[in-house]
Structure 1
Amino acid sequence: MRQIFKLASYIASLFRNISIRTRLILFFVLLSSLPLIILGYISYNRSSNAVESKIEYFSSEIFAQSARNIRFTMDIIDLSCREFKMNDEAIVQIKKYRKDKDNLQDVKTDLNKILSAKFTNVTIKNCIGATIISEGEIIGNTVSYQALRNLDITEDDIAAAEEGKGNSVWVVERSKTNKQNYILVLNDIYDEITGSKLATMVVVLNENYFYEVYKLIDIKEASYLFIMNSEGMVISSNDAEQIPISHNYSNQEVVEKVRKQVEENSTENVQIIKGSVQSYIDNEKYIFCYSAIENTDWYIMGAIPFGYVTADSKAIGMAIFNVGTVIFILAILISLIISMSILSPLSKLEALMQQAKDGNLNIFIDDKFRDEISFLGSHFNEMLNNIRNLVSRVSNSSQQVLKSAGDVTGLSSTYLNSYEQVALSMAQIAQGASEQAENSQDTVAFVNKLSDDINKVEDNVKSTVEIVEHTKTLSENAMVAVDSLNKKSLQTGLVSEKIFDNINILNTDMKQIERVIKFIGSISEQTNLLALNATIEAARAGEAGRGFAIVADHIRKLAEQTREALNSISTVIRDIQEKTKVTASSANETQIIIKQQLEAVGHTDNSFKAILKAMDEIITYMGKYSESVNAILKSREETLDAINNISAVSQETAATVEEVAATTQDQITGIEELTKQSKLLNRMAQELNESISIFKL
């Protein structure tokens, strides 16, 4: 909030450089005209947009209805064509011709009667006639000879009719002979039984066939009305000179915009049927409204001048401008009148203030009105009355001040001489006290240095004691560790002896196992020998000893497997014996090492006991040394206190003398300043008398 107030104050200060009259006129015009301008601008824009959108919408609706009317007009022809194709007599005549070409004249006569009943200018306005073509021959016709001669029905037209597959195909042809444009409605006629093509019917329409629809379009300003296909070719126009028929429309920008708008806004299920685009014709802006004609790729188009659409909104804008101009002029006139009512009394007040500035206080403002300026004049009169009274009192006071200032100047000179003598004496006393304080400070410095050295010795003694105590603690811990190591070494020795004994027992057992294996081996060899003898005996027995031979062979094989197993066991036992010997040797060496370790542990234990005893003696001596240092420190403190007392007394004396000297000097300075101020007061009193003398009371 404070920042906003500061910003407002700053902005207000900028306007102080502009006269009040200019400010009043400027702000009154702005406050009265600016809202109207903003409101008018918004109203103009909204009304313009609303009018333009409404006109575009209704124009699109009109063209949509016109598209339906054109579709209805086209349906009349389509319906007539379907009725003809459903006429049994006509179909019979066509088949009759196709069956026998010699019947051409009879067929023509009959078909011409049927065609004349439906396709003439009497039955359908602007219908020139119709013709039936079968196998390249005209077999029926109601078109005049001259028109038929000018009309050139090409193979492309016949092919277009085939693409319609029985539906009407609308095309525009331009005669090469008379340059006349014709609208052709092409229909193929099929046999309902076989489905084969019988003939092609061509209905010829005048280029003004859709002119009646253009008359129904109630847009007076729509200067261009025409029908074009999706490729931009003009099918029909209300002004063939401006928009030639059977030619591509000259403004291809409109064609592209319509095609693009239809493609962008159409979906697979929804086909855009109406809309509008904007373009220029001869540098004039137009709105082109279009609407698709059902079941064709045709669009009915209308070009409406943009000026016609914006005419009403421009009229509204002009009315707003005229009203705004009148209000602007009235605002200036009213602001001038109000500024004159303010500035006229202010000018009078300014002139009287100028007289008061020149010293004339004997003036008076006579303003009987009741606005703020009148109150300002009344306050100005009161201010002048107060100033007159003040000037009168100041004049009397200045005379008295002038007399008193002279007396003060004389007394201050006398006091100044006395205080200068006192200041000189105090300066000598202060110098002696300062020298004594400096000597005391030097002594204190030496004692403090000695005290610092003693404190360092004390700190070193404490550190040494702490290190010795820590070393003793470590020694005691080492003693405990050595004792534990000694016990573990004894236990290790006992375990090693047990291991050595177990290894010797294992070695003895392995030798017994070896003897058992040798015994089993001899039995296996004997079994093998017996099995061999049994095999020989069985062979001698012949067929009777065959079964015994088989048993003997199995026994021999088992004996061989036993021998192989015994060899493997012997190898393993020999390896175990070798490893047992190595383990026994290692165990024996371990016993020797353990004995040596026990001796070393004993020596270490004795060494730590000696160190521990020495540490106790060092701690005792360090305690006595610390007591001596503490006694020295106590003496140092007493000496330092005494010296500090002496130094403090000397410093207090010096400080007191300096304070007295400073006070004396301040008094001298004050007296000098008093003398100076009394002289200045005397001069100012004289100047005040001279200044007051210019006022007229």
Structure 2
Amino acid sequence: MKWTNKGNNMKTESDKKGINVDVKSLYSSSVNGLKGIKLENPSKSVGLMLFLIIFSAILICVLVVGLFSYSTSKSIIKDKISQSSSVAITQSKGKLDLMFGNYVDLTMQIMLDKNVQSELLTLESTTDSYEKFSSMKKLSDILQTYVIGNSTIVGATIIPIKSGDPSVSVGGSTISSDAAQKSDWMKTIVDGGGKISWLPSKAKGYSGTMSEPTIALGRVLKNTVTNQGNYVLVLEIYLKQVGKQLQDLSLGQNSEVTIINSDNTIIYSKDFSKLGKPSDIVLPADADKQVHGSTQTKDSQGQQVLAMYDKFDSMNWRLLGSVPVKELVRDAAKIRDLTWIIAGIAAVIAIGIGILVIRMVALPLIQLRNLMNEGERGNLYVRSKVGKKDEIGQLSQSFNQMMTQITALVTQTNQSAQDVLTTAGELTDASKKTAVSAKEIAVATEEIANGATSLAMEAEKGSDLTTEISEQMKEVMQANHQMGSSAAEVEKASRQGTVYMNSLIEKTGLTEEMTRSMVEKVDRLKESTRSIRKILDVLNNMTKQTNILSLNATIEAARAGAAGKGFMVVADEIRKLADQSRQSIDVVGQITETIQREIDETVNVLSNAYPIFQEQIGSVKEANQIFLTVQSQMGDFVQRLNSVTDSISALDRSQLVLSDAMANVSAVAEESSATSQEVASLSNEQTNISEGLVKLSDKLETVSMGLKETLSRFRTE
């Protein structure tokens, strides 16, 4: 099928033998159809949205189905392989249980052998070296009969638990009793009593001299009569025998089969370097409670692995098989790859379908949108040429009919706007003339009203002023009376002040005389302290002379020898009295100095106070003179206040007459102002009506002009 675009008409050419879709020609024709079409915002395009919906739906369906199939097949493969591998693990575990059971039975036969019991009893009871050697030789021969001919067994060893006797070994196992008694595995066997204890693998065997790893089992050899055991039997087995039992077990490519103990330590692995190391596979926590099971986990490298495990019957070991999940689902990955290929093909098909939808839906809609944009810009003669019979064609015909109706409506509206514009101009002129006249009348009326209002206000101010003057005159008269009373009181107080000042002058004179007398007495006391000072100097010299005399007396007494001892005591007492006198004189001297210093300070204070008393006397005399002056001036002030009171009374009577006249003027001015304001209000109302009419006319003219400009955008021819 080929789609061609000739003048926006879609034509189909089909072949009767089949329908072939040429995607390249379809794409090129779509591109040619898009030329010349303006895409303002592709993200909001209906065609693009339909294309994305179709593309996403097809691609999502293919991916969901394919990936679901891949996931389901992968899950089924894992379940089937897990079941088959579990069966194989169980079968291999059964073979190993049989082999391990044979070894357990062999140790039981050795323990129950009468000859072994007899020789062990001999070793315990005898102290003779030869008998011990003979018993050990017999035990070695007996063990040889059990071990010889079995190539899977390295050897067997009987080890004493406590005594210092050497161990009895046969085969390749030569475990010394001293090394064994110090080892942990020996303690494990002894703690187990008569039960079997399986020992982990060792790279060089339990003797430490082997060239390949071995495992071992041991048990205490108890006496069948006394049930006491003093010896341990250790049976050492080649680890490769376990590998022979597992060589036919294969779980898949890169799979691994190991034997681990309860501590998750590797007992057996094809790679002997892993022996004794922790296993990469960590079993779930409840694995100890399960005999067998399977789980999906991660190894030490973080890869997903499928692990199957089964517990042995004779020991707490597990046979563990693991295989990487990616190896299991390697074949299922083909489904995933095929899904991506089909998704790519579906994407190409979806693109083709999307381009077809764009040509059939988006391009005609874009053409109609562009025509509508032309109509929005004022081009009313645009018409759609889409001749299709579907909904888009019907939309195109409806658009043409709408544009025809809009063209007729715009033509009629343009003519009406022209008529309205003419009428609005005439109405505006008449309104403006009326408004001018109303404004002139309003201005004249407002001037009259303003004059009357000003006159009324001035009259009110005058009336208020006279009232205020009257109140102030009353206050002045009251203040005048108060001033007269205050002046009389001041005159009386000045008389009393004069009397007090005379008394103060007399008392100040007496104080001056007392101060002068005190200064003289202090001067005499100062001279007395100087005399005391001189007497103290004389006494101090006497004490010094007394000290010298006592010293000389002491020297003379020392020369006199025994006869002068009494005089020496007297001389010492005199010297002590002289020292005490000197100390007392020093104390009295300090006290005297203190008294003299305070007397000097008192003299200075009195000397400074005396001029102040003299100044105070002068100030008191001046204050007395001021009181006398105030008394005389207050008499004159009282007389003047009486004269002012008479003048204020006459002024108050004149003010009452002026207040009545201002009240009459204010009443007349208020009546005139009220009449003028009423006339001005009517004029303002008329002016407002005229201005509103002018505004309405201007608004009508503006609307008409705007309508005319709007209609001028549309082209109808």
The TM-score normalised by the length of structure 2 is 0.50
Query: What amino acid is the match of 2:105?
Result: L
Conserved 8 A contact 1:71-1:293 = yes
1:22 aligns with 2:42: no
Out of 378, 389, 397, the residue aligned to residue 378 of structure 1 is: 397
Out of 275, 288, 305, the residue aligned to residue 324 of structure 2 is: 305
* 1:275-286 → structure 2 map (5 Å cutoff): 278-280=298-300
Out of 210, 213, 218, the residue aligned to residue 181 of structure 1 is: 213
Equivalent-residue separation in structure 2 for 1:233 and 1:678 (angstroms): 103
Q: 1:106 to 1:184 in 2, by over 3 A?
A: same
1:153 aligns with 2:179: no
Quote the residue 1:513 is aligned against. Answer: none
Quote the residue 2:194 is aligned against. Answer: 166
Equivalent-residue separation in structure 2 for 1:129 and 1:681 (angstroms): 123
Equivalent-residue separation in structure 2 for 1:338 and 1:279 (angstroms): 53
* 1:77-92 → structure 2 map (5 Å cutoff): 77-88=103-114, 91-92=117-118
Partner SS state of residue 423, structure 1? helix
1:248 to partner: Cα distance: 2.9
Query: What amino acid is the match of 1:81?
Result: T
* 1:360-509 → structure 2 map (5 Å cutoff): 361-369=380-388, 371-398=390-417, 400-401=419-420, 404=423, 407-408=426-427, 411-412=430-431, 414-416=433-435, 418-428=437-447, 430-431=449-450, 434=453
Paired residues, number: 466
Equivalent-residue separation in structure 1 for 2:712 and 2:121 (angstroms): 143
1:387-416 deviation per Cα after TM superposition (whole angstroms, max 9, x unaligned): 221233235435544654564455446545
Equivalent-residue separation in structure 2 for 1:678 and 1:58 (angstroms): 98
1:361-404 deviation per Cα after TM superposition (whole angstroms, max 9, x unaligned): 44543545454433432221122111221233235435544654
Equivalent-residue separation in structure 2 for 1:392 and 1:49 (angstroms): 77
1:150-201 deviation per Cα after TM superposition (whole angstroms, max 9, x unaligned): x322224477255553333444452665613333333443321234558654
Query: What amino acid is the match of 1:186?
Result: G
Q: 1:324 to 1:430 in 2, by over 3 A?
A: farther
Out of 222, 232, 241, the residue aligned to residue 190 of structure 1 is: 222
Conserved 8 A contact 2:452-2:669 = no
Out of 242, 247, 262, the residue aligned to residue 210 of structure 1 is: 242
* 1:124-139 → structure 2 map (5 Å cutoff): 126-127=152-153
1:78 to partner: Cα distance: 0.8
Conserved 8 A contact 1:121-1:129 = no
Equivalent-residue separation in structure 1 for 2:120 and 2:78 (angstroms): 57
Q: 1:115 to 1:158 in 2, by over 3 A?
A: farther
**RMSD across aligned positions (CA):** 5.7
Conserved 8 A contact 2:260-2:279 = no
Partner SS state of residue 152, structure 1? coil
Out of 272, 294, 314, the residue aligned to residue 243 of structure 1 is: 272
Identity of aligned residues (%): 18
Q: 1:437 to 1:75 in 2, by over 3 A?
A: farther
Equivalent-residue separation in structure 1 for 2:77 and 2:459 (angstroms): 108
1:592-646 deviation per Cα after TM superposition (whole angstroms, max 9, x unaligned): xxxxxxxxxxxxxxxxxxxxxxxxxxxxxxxxxxxxxxxxxxxxxxxxxxxxx99
* 1:44-55 → structure 2 map (5 Å cutoff): none
Query: What amino acid is the match of 1:378?
Result: Q
Equivalent-residue separation in structure 2 for 1:110 and 1:689 (angstroms): 131
Out of 351, 354, 362, the residue aligned to residue 343 of structure 1 is: 362
Equivalent-residue separation in structure 2 for 1:667 and 1:655 (angstroms): 18
Q: 1:440 to 1:66 in 2, by over 3 A?
A: farther
1:675 to partner: Cα distance: 6.5
Partner SS state of residue 210, structure 1? helix
Quote the residue 1:557 is aligned against. Answer: none
1:660 aligns with 2:682: yes
Query: What amino acid is the match of 1:243?
Result: F
Query: What amino acid is the match of 2:217?
Result: V
Query: What amino acid is the match of 2:356?
Result: I
* 1:524-535 → structure 2 map (5 Å cutoff): none
Partner SS state of residue 22, structure 1? helix
Q: 1:209 to 1:157 in 2, by over 3 A?
A: farther
Equivalent-residue separation in structure 1 for 2:436 and 2:233 (angstroms): 148
The TM-score normalised by the length of structure 1 is 0.51
1:58-83 deviation per Cα after TM superposition (whole angstroms, max 9, x unaligned): 86787577556544432221123213
Equivalent-residue separation in structure 1 for 2:704 and 2:94 (angstroms): 114
Query: What amino acid is the match of 1:337?
Result: L
Conserved 8 A contact 1:288-1:301 = yes
Query: What amino acid is the match of 1:193?
Result: V
- Structure 1 stretch displaced more, 295-304 or 187-196: 295-304
Quote the residue 1:695 is aligned against. Answer: 716
Partner SS state of residue 209, structure 1? helix
Conserved 8 A contact 2:265-2:279 = no
Equivalent-residue separation in structure 2 for 1:87 and 1:678 (angstroms): 135
Q: 1:687 to 1:214 in 2, by over 3 A?
A: closer
Conserved 8 A contact 1:429-1:657 = no
Equivalent-residue separation in structure 2 for 1:684 and 1:322 (angstroms): 65
Equivalent-residue separation in structure 2 for 1:658 and 1:78 (angstroms): 137
Query: What amino acid is the match of 2:359?
Result: M
Quote the residue 2:632 is aligned against. Answer: none
Unaligned stretches of 5+ in structure 1?
Answer: 1-13, 450-644
Q: 1:359 to 1:273 in 2, by over 3 A?
A: closer
Query: What amino acid is the match of 1:248?
Result: G
Conserved 8 A contact 1:183-1:206 = yes
1:105-138 deviation per Cα after TM superposition (whole angstroms, max 9, x unaligned): 999789868964x65656xx73456566789688
Q: 1:220 to 1:429 in 2, by over 3 A?
A: same
Partner SS state of residue 166, structure 1? coil
